[in-house]
Amino acid sequence: MSRVACVLFALLMVSPCISQAKTIDVQIKGIDDGVKTTKQQDFKEAVLFAKRQAIERAGVKVRSLTTAKDFVIHSDYIESKAEAVLLPGYNILDIGYQQDGTYLIILAGKVKTSTSNSIRREVPRSIKKKVPQEGHFIKHPSGVVHDKKTGLEWYAGPDRATNWNEAKEWVENLNVAGGSWRMPTREELRTLYKNGAGVRNMTPLLKTTGWGVWSGETRDSSSAWGFDFSQGLERWFSQDISYNERGFAVRSRK
């Protein structure tokens, strides 16, 4: 399976070879294409592959025309377009990375096959959810905000007074959307600043009531740099200061 095919099934064309409803048990290996991105992304690609194989195992051939769009995987397009559907309650055993670099999962569950009318009534009409956007920022359902201009992904921390050590500990333990988060640099924080944007001079997709965000850069053993969004300036504070400061996490999108 090609890399693009793993990214998005934009249109699925189905050739049904069944006439009566039936339910079959399936146990399918799902393998991604071996190109490492993030663990979460490679896991999703393996699951997508397994879903497609499960439907084909039920006797329904799925032929895909593919395209890439915003690097979003819409795996449920498989169930919505095929004459078969993977029933809720299926289990996924997460095996992980293999020696050859591929990511392996095992999917076990039931696939129901039927005529087009009966199956499609069981599938939600709206598969693709609208993703909030503001300028070059996109907010995904996980809460991750992607800046298409810089390629950075952001996640706003707890909206409360946070000192530097608290922000650092929160980021180090953050596992949202696959993990690999870190504290931002001052330069990265500056890319968020836009006078008049939202209520804190930054995209309103990042929710915060604080004016300051800590960077991961220290000035000395007791002070660290942050960014003041009220004036668009870099400032250093005692690491114990917490009143108006917040912790944000960032990672580079691969």
pLDDT in tens, 138-181: 999 999 999 999 999 999 999 999 999 999 999 999 999 989 99
Ramachandran class of 13: left when φ > 0, alpha when ψ lies in -120 to 50, beta otherwise: beta
Please indicate, yes or no, whether residues 153 and 112 belong to a single structural domain of this protein: no
Asked whether residue 77 is domain-assigned, the answer is yes
pLDDT in tens, 192-225: 999 999 999 999 999 999 999 999 999 999 999 9
Of 99, 122, 145, the last residue of a domain is 122
Residue 168 shares a structural domain with residue 199:
yes
DSSP 70-108: TT---TTHHHHHSSEEEPTT-EEEEEEE-TTS-EEEEEE
| Beta-carbon contacts of residue 221 (< 8 Å; ≥ 6 apart) | none
Joined tokens for residue 201: 């001079």
How far apart are the C-alpha atoms of 215 and 222, rounded to whole Å? 14
Cα separation of 92 and 29, whole Å? 10
Residue located via tokens 């793993």? 6
Position 127 in a domain = no
* Summary mean pLDDT of the chain: 77
Range of the domain at 80: 3-122
**Collapsing DSSP states into helix, strand and coil, what is residue 175?**
coil
Rounded Cα distance between 51 and 24, Å, is 14
In a domain, 193, yes or no: yes
**Tens digit of pLDDT for each residue in 32-82?**
766 777 888 888 888 887 777 766 666 554 443 333 333 333 334 333 344
- Cβ atoms within 10 A of the Cβ of 80, count? 18
Q: Are strands 84-86 and 103-113 parallel, antiparallel or unpaired?
A: antiparallel
